[in-house]
Structure 1
Amino acid sequence: MRIASIISDPKRRRVLSYKIISFRRKLAFLLYFVGLVWLLLLPTDELSGAFYVDENALMPGMASNHYNREGHAIQMAEQLKHIPWNELPQWTISKLAGFGMETFTQNFTAKLPLSLNTKLSSSIEGVNWYSILRAEKTSSTEAIVLAVMVDKGNLFSLAVLVSLAEYLSTQPFWAKDIIFLATNGGQYGMQAWLEAYLGIKSSVGIAKDNLATRSGIIQAAVVLDITSPAISHVSVLTNGINGQLSNQDIANAAVMVLHREMIPVSIHGQESTFIDDKYRKSLKIMLKSIGQQATGLPEHLHGLFVRYHIDAVTFKVYSKSHSSGGKDLGAFGRTVEGQLRCINNLLEPLHHSMFFYLSISTFRYISISLYFPPLACIFVALALEGFAQWLLARDPELRTITDTSSPTVDTDAIYVAIPVASVLQIGITVATCGYLVYASPMIYSNLIGPLTPSVLLYCVVGSVLVSMVTVPFVRLASPCDWHIVKFFYLLLLITALLGIGLLNFSLSLIITVGITVPCLCAAPSSGNRCDMKCLIRVLATLLLSPVLVFFYCCVLHVYTFVEVGNDYSTLLLKAFEFTSEGLTELYLSSQVLGSWVYVTICVCVWPLWLVTWSLNFQ
């Protein structure tokens, strides 16, 4: 009743408006810092949970695994080194056919919008070869995929695949078909095979042969990445394209099977054991997880399965310098066997456990119910500022308020009309600039010549600078229109960030943390362009632009995960290289594999930031 009486009484409502405007900035920054502190506290034991397997049918570690052909795998890897590269598919399928399996090949060509080598070749040609081990107990209604990516430095993966195929073909307990798949085209080859197998098309520029035959519905997939038989530790990778994650149960089952074989386990390449759960290490793993997920790039081949609701993991083996290797590789083979047997036990797709989580160690995780509220706190801060701008836009007399103003007023409010022309003028301008950033590489390749990674960087940076120079020249029809422009801008920003957060939390988090402070402080200069507050606002907006935030993330990644010592020149050089490589991967993934991160940043995030940039020059 009290709230209703305040809203219905114009004078009391105006007093409330005064209070909101007076304290909005302090409350907004308080909520912003509460969100940041909450995020930094997430890796603690109090806010994280111990992992568990929710799907009882998996029964990880319950079965006895007997793979013991590591010596054969090592000999086969040595043999593969002497086989010509173009004969590897035929050699592999002849081996697999000898085990009584159906063997097939698939040719594909990926036409890239970017030239990756000095010959300016913009296409990748490759071969996928696969064999199907038919289950004796069922009629090929379900299948498991065991896949490897073959390159000249990764022949051990293919050797272990063939060795496992030979061993698993002798076991009678399979209730699902097993598809042994190898590709020499990386992610493009895997994408070609998946599209052909599932009968859908979700990429652009990949031409491929139809598959000669299929198995049943793919229940799950396991990808192997082995460079040496001497194993230091194994990393379990779960991040998929566009920030999607595999079901947590399949990742936890993989960790449990690895621990049973006494193989050290890591998350994102960072070692973590059951007895070591320090805050600093957990925070480092969480930041790595957020950074990887935010890119929207598939972490490995398994990431392309996740987009089709096929749970998948990659076992990435890290090598050590001195070891005999035989025992280690045998234990790893038993780990893969155990993971396949876990999936073989499933009676339905994984659905009990979570698809939204952040890993901080091999045995602890952060639930979405705990990591999304900090982001919501920052959204509330933006919403509070937006509501205050709406009040200021509709009631001109509220614009004269100061910190010492009296909260009472005797006159009735005089509301003004919404300046639609000013809103549309800035909206159309920034939207055009965003599309220019997105389309500039394509315009260059169509009108001038082949696109290379360096040219891509020049196109994007050039179009970004052009838009930053152009937008400040767009003037509002009235100096007071900026309040309503900022209101609509904050409304669109919150909606966009919330939508991105529901699909890719990490990307939304990085954007929100970087863009919130410039948004809260954005305001026109009060007649004096050299005013210190105005200069600080412009500098803060520039330093927290999406482009520089992306570069800061690259610097942080290089500083944290690449050994550069205290040589800051080397740090910056490697950060620039990493930035160029990251931009290339984002562009290729968006144009070929269907990732939406590059598009979202160009046509959504960048235009919204340009509104903030424009307001500071009004």
Structure 2
Amino acid sequence: MGLLTDPRTGNGKIIKFVLQWEKWLCFFMYIGGIIWTMLLALPVFNDSTYFSENALLPGLVMKECSLEASAKQFHNELIEEMKRYPDKMPYPWLLAKFNQLYLDVYMHNFTLNYPFREQQFTGQNVYGIVRAPRGASTEAIIVSVPYRPISSVNLNTAPSIALLLAFAKCCRKQKYWAKDIIFLVTEHEQLGMQAWLEAYHGVTSGQDGILMSGDLSGRSGSIQAAINLELHGMKIASVDVKVEGLNGQLPNLDLVNLAQDMITKEGIRRTFQRRPDVNVKNKVSKWWYQFNTLISMIVTQATGVPTGNHGLFHRFGIEAITLEGFERSGRGPEVSFYQVGRVVESIVRSLNNLLERFHQSFFFYLLPSTDRYISIGGLFIKAFASWIRLQDTGIKVEENENPDTKISQLKQNKVEEFDIASIASEILWSHIIGVSIMSSPKLFTSIGSQLWDLPTEDSIYYGFIVTTVLTMFWPFYLRRPRKSDNVALVCVVASIEVATTLLCVAMHNFSLALLTAIIYVPTALAISPKREINSKFRGLLHVFWILLHPFVVASILVMGYTRLNFPGEPLMSILIKGIQATKHAFVFSVIDSMIYGNWFYNVTVAILLPNWILFWNVINSKIAFDS
């Protein structure tokens, strides 16, 4: 009858065991999680890709488009127009070509109000629609290309526009389309795509008044899927499939598998993360290669920055990928636009077969190669289920103890009350500081430009340095005797907050939660409000926790990335380039949160930084460490 009256019956020994070996259990679970992540790259722990959506009918259609000749003609004409317009999109030429193909042609105007200066930037998108002869324009598929002028620092996309026009010419002649096909050429990279999507759906994703998306004069139905093309030459050696979207969102795995399968069928080398599949007999070498591919995806996804225009579709429930084609850099085969055009045609015609939105395959996954995947179930250690079963083993506590004795003992124990007001004030002020810093970039820019005539990136960078120093010295301003129990409760609240944050982030961006846990959890577990901690360990905690300040971590990571990109540069040159790259990274993260709604900056400053401050207060607590 104990199970019916006391839910804790049978768990006493387990609770005592967990409390006694708490630190060691956390340590082994941390190491086990890292080892499990590394083992996921082994074929034993991942699966071969397959199609869950039978309606796609991949590769079963008779391909009718031969796009090479038309694409070459369009490409030659476009190159001449680009020379006439070296810094902007040749709108008249694009409009004329779309009209010649008898598409429904429209232009879209948008304006960006730069948030840190009183400046405005304008842009235009051009799009044409092939109306479905066998449908009522209730559904649509998008084929898009970001236009890049000759003066752009990014790789040229003129071949992509040529292929898009050639494919539009072919689609216009066919009668089997059940969905509208929208051919979209955007300006200013992701900015133009974001403005077009906001105008199409009538929403604002970022802050009001920054990106004025305007209105669309022509539209179609609900967008089912999108293919973004970034082909950098008329001869292609490999095609890389990009999947990472805004805030770590991913497209449905069926769409990724469809693209990879069509690329392989046309004899084109397929890659993921710019890494082709390798056939190595040595199992260790193969595991290491796939593990590096897996880590590359984890790092890319964790930033929350889209790897292409496709990444902006996911928040609207639209599955999208980018096909990026590269020219041959050394030896190896290459293919013409005949094969690449057949790939695009196969994908679009398979999407045309869909009877409903993608929903059967995975939306949460990791890819160690082009033909293997790790589902969300593989991201959790299987032994966790066995540990859960231990909770139901029914180990009974001593039943000989008299309940009246328990009550009398509880009455005799003196319960020391917590200073709730002080604890709540400390937690509240730490989060107020985080929210204030999150909203401070405009203030930093205004002060820096008015007092010292600093550019935006310098104003924000130096402002963050000042706030970092102030947050480090904040506990010393308020240094006063505190009860040990109050400090312990603050430590418990901070631990619960970091665990809850990691859990919530993992529901959206598992890679970001994984990397954050790897960086912060070991030191956070070592922080304890006990008096017995000696001064040497206390000093180590100070050093490690300062290095784990969010802005310090960001600076170190950018410095390391700069070092990897410039291995032969001297140390001073690396330091200068790293600082400059850090400045730009801070500005871009703030702008991304304002325009696109990227919450990487907001989560870091409004949640992770206050949590860092709470642990920093525990480390510097006078009662917690001083005898």
Normalising by structure 2, what TM-score?
A: 0.85
Q: Distance in 2 between matches of 1:154 and 1:47?
A: 39
The one of 455, 462, 481 equivalent to 1:458 is 462
Shift in Å, 1:503: 1.3
1:339 corresponding residue in structure 2 = 347
Q: Distance in 1 between matches of 2:235 and 2:571?
A: 34
Q: Relative to structure 1, is the Cα distance of residues 261 and 427 closer, same or farther in structure 2, using a 3 angstrom cutoff?
A: same
Query: Is residue 306 of structure 1 aligned with residue 314 of structure 2?
Result: yes
Q: Relative to structure 1, is the Cα distance of residues 324 and 520 closer, same or farther in structure 2, using a 3 angstrom cutoff?
A: closer
The one of 581, 593, 614 equivalent to 2:617 is 614
One-letter amino acid of the counterpart of residue 605, structure 2: C
The one of 32, 35, 39 equivalent to 1:34 is 32
Shift in Å, 1:59: 1.6
Q: Distance in 2 between matches of 1:46 and 1:448?
A: 56
1:385 corresponding residue in structure 2 = none
The more displaced of 67-76 and 93-102 is: 67-76
1:89 corresponding residue in structure 2 = 91
Q: Does the aligned pair in 1 maintain the 2:206–2:593 contact within 8 Å?
A: no
Q: Secondary structure at the match of 2:336?
A: helix
Q: Secondary structure at the match of 1:246?
A: coil
2:228 corresponding residue in structure 1 = 223
Q: Secondary structure at the match of 1:46?
A: helix
Q: Does the aligned pair in 2 maintain the 1:114–1:451 contact within 8 Å?
A: no
Shift in Å, 1:318: 1.9
Q: Distance in 1 between matches of 2:617 and 2:484?
A: 13
The one of 501, 508, 512 equivalent to 1:507 is 512
The more displaced of 340-349 and 266-275 is: 266-275
Shift in Å, 1:552: 4.6
Q: Relative to structure 1, is the Cα distance of residues 581 and 257 closer, same or farther in structure 2, using a 3 angstrom cutoff?
A: farther
Q: Relative to structure 1, is the Cα distance of residues 66 and 198 closer, same or farther in structure 2, using a 3 angstrom cutoff?
A: same
Q: Does the aligned pair in 1 maintain the 2:237–2:332 contact within 8 Å?
A: no
Shift in Å, 1:347: 0.5
Shift in Å, 1:66: 3.7
1:357 corresponding residue in structure 2 = 365
Q: Distance in 2 between matches of 1:346 and 1:428?
A: 51
Shift in Å, 1:303: 0.8
The more displaced of 142-151 and 483-492 is: 483-492
1:486 corresponding residue in structure 2 = 491
1:261 corresponding residue in structure 2 = 266
2:46 corresponding residue in structure 1 = 48
Q: Distance in 1 between matches of 2:54 and 2:532?
A: 68
Q: Distance in 2 between matches of 1:241 and 1:52?
A: 25
The one of 142, 145, 151 equivalent to 1:145 is 142
Q: Relative to structure 1, is the Cα distance of residues 568 and 254 closer, same or farther in structure 2, using a 3 angstrom cutoff?
A: farther
The more displaced of 355-364 and 430-439 is: 430-439
1:170 corresponding residue in structure 2 = 173
1:397 corresponding residue in structure 2 = none
Normalising by structure 1, what TM-score?
A: 0.86
One-letter amino acid of the counterpart of residue 127, structure 2: Y
2:398 corresponding residue in structure 1 = none
One-letter amino acid of the counterpart of residue 30, structure 1: F
Shift in Å, 1:166: 1.3
One-letter amino acid of the counterpart of residue 249, structure 1: D
Q: Secondary structure at the match of 1:231?
A: coil
Q: Does the aligned pair in 2 maintain the 1:130–1:181 contact within 8 Å?
A: yes
Q: Relative to structure 1, is the Cα distance of residues 263 and 576 closer, same or farther in structure 2, using a 3 angstrom cutoff?
A: farther
Shift in Å, 1:147: 0.5
How many residues in Structure 1 have an aligned counterpart in Structure 2? 580
2:538 corresponding residue in structure 1 = 534
One-letter amino acid of the counterpart of residue 607, structure 1: P
Q: Relative to structure 1, is the Cα distance of residues 580 and 271 closer, same or farther in structure 2, using a 3 angstrom cutoff?
A: farther
Q: Distance in 1 between matches of 2:298 and 2:501?
A: 19
2:396 corresponding residue in structure 1 = none
Shift in Å, 1:54: 0.5
2:160 corresponding residue in structure 1 = 157
**Alpha-carbon deviations, 1:274-293, whole Å to 9, x = none?**
77981112111111111111
**Alpha-carbon deviations, 1:560-597, whole Å to 9, x = none?**
6x462696666655554543343332211101111111
Q: Secondary structure at the match of 2:471?
A: helix
Shift in Å, 1:145: 0.6
One-letter amino acid of the counterpart of residue 154, structure 1: T
One-letter amino acid of the counterpart of residue 469, structure 1: F
Query: Is residue 131 of structure 1 aligned with residue 128 of structure 2?
Result: yes
Q: Does the aligned pair in 2 maintain the 1:221–1:302 contact within 8 Å?
A: yes
Query: Is residue 292 of structure 1 aligned with residue 300 of structure 2?
Result: yes
Q: Distance in 2 between matches of 1:553 and 1:64?
A: 50
1:416 corresponding residue in structure 2 = 416
Q: Secondary structure at the match of 2:437?
A: helix
Q: Does the aligned pair in 1 maintain the 2:328–2:334 contact within 8 Å?
A: no
1:76 corresponding residue in structure 2 = 74
Q: Relative to structure 1, is the Cα distance of residues 555 and 354 closer, same or farther in structure 2, using a 3 angstrom cutoff?
A: farther
Q: Does the aligned pair in 1 maintain the 2:268–2:335 contact within 8 Å?
A: no
Q: Secondary structure at the match of 2:373?
A: strand
2:425 corresponding residue in structure 1 = 425
Shift in Å, 1:442: 1.6
Q: Report the aligned-residue RMSD.
A: 3.2
Q: Relative to structure 1, is the Cα distance of residues 44 and 87 closer, same or farther in structure 2, using a 3 angstrom cutoff?
A: closer
The more displaced of 24-33 and 517-526 is: 517-526
Shift in Å, 1:432: 2.7
The one of 52, 59, 62 equivalent to 1:61 is 59
**Alpha-carbon deviations, 1:55-92, whole Å to 9, x = none?**
01112222232432324323422322222335612211
Identity of counterpart residues, as a percentage? 28
Gaps of 5+ in 2: 150-155, 389-408, 622-627
Q: Does the aligned pair in 1 maintain the 2:237–2:334 contact within 8 Å?
A: no
1:189 corresponding residue in structure 2 = 192
Shift in Å, 1:157: 1.8
One-letter amino acid of the counterpart of residue 146, structure 1: V
Q: Distance in 2 between matches of 1:146 and 1:191?
A: 15
1:107 corresponding residue in structure 2 = 109
Gaps of 5+ in 1: 116-120, 381-408
Q: Distance in 2 between matches of 1:444 and 1:563?
A: 31
**Alpha-carbon deviations, 1:274-317, whole Å to 9, x = none?**
77981112111111111111111122111111110000111011
The one of 189, 192, 201 equivalent to 1:198 is 201
Q: Does the aligned pair in 1 maintain the 2:590–2:601 contact within 8 Å?
A: yes
One-letter amino acid of the counterpart of residue 427, structure 2: G
Q: Relative to structure 1, is the Cα distance of residues 517 and 2 closer, same or farther in structure 2, using a 3 angstrom cutoff?
A: farther
Q: Distance in 1 between matches of 2:419 and 2:277?
A: 57
The one of 451, 455, 475 equivalent to 1:471 is 475
Shift in Å, 1:22: 3.3
One-letter amino acid of the counterpart of residue 539, structure 2: L
Q: Distance in 2 between matches of 1:368 and 1:576?
A: 37
Q: Secondary structure at the match of 2:609?
A: helix
Query: Is residue 213 of structure 1 aligned with residue 211 of structure 2?
Result: no
Q: Distance in 1 between matches of 2:219 and 2:529?
A: 63
One-letter amino acid of the counterpart of residue 46, structure 2: S
One-letter amino acid of the counterpart of residue 131, structure 1: G
Q: Relative to structure 1, is the Cα distance of residues 373 and 324 closer, same or farther in structure 2, using a 3 angstrom cutoff?
A: closer
Q: Distance in 1 between matches of 2:292 and 2:73?
A: 39
Shift in Å, 1:419: 2.3
Q: Distance in 2 between matches of 1:519 and 1:16?
A: 24
Q: Distance in 1 between matches of 2:511 and 2:4?
A: 39
How is 1:458-607 mapped onto 2 (pairs within 5 angstroms)? 458-475=462-479, 477-524=482-529, 526=531, 531-554=535-558, 557=561, 562=565, 564=567, 575-607=578-610
Q: Distance in 1 between matches of 2:15 and 2:335?
A: 72
1:368 corresponding residue in structure 2 = 376
Shift in Å, 1:437: 2.5
Q: Does the aligned pair in 2 maintain the 1:54–1:353 contact within 8 Å?
A: yes
Shift in Å, 1:606: 0.9
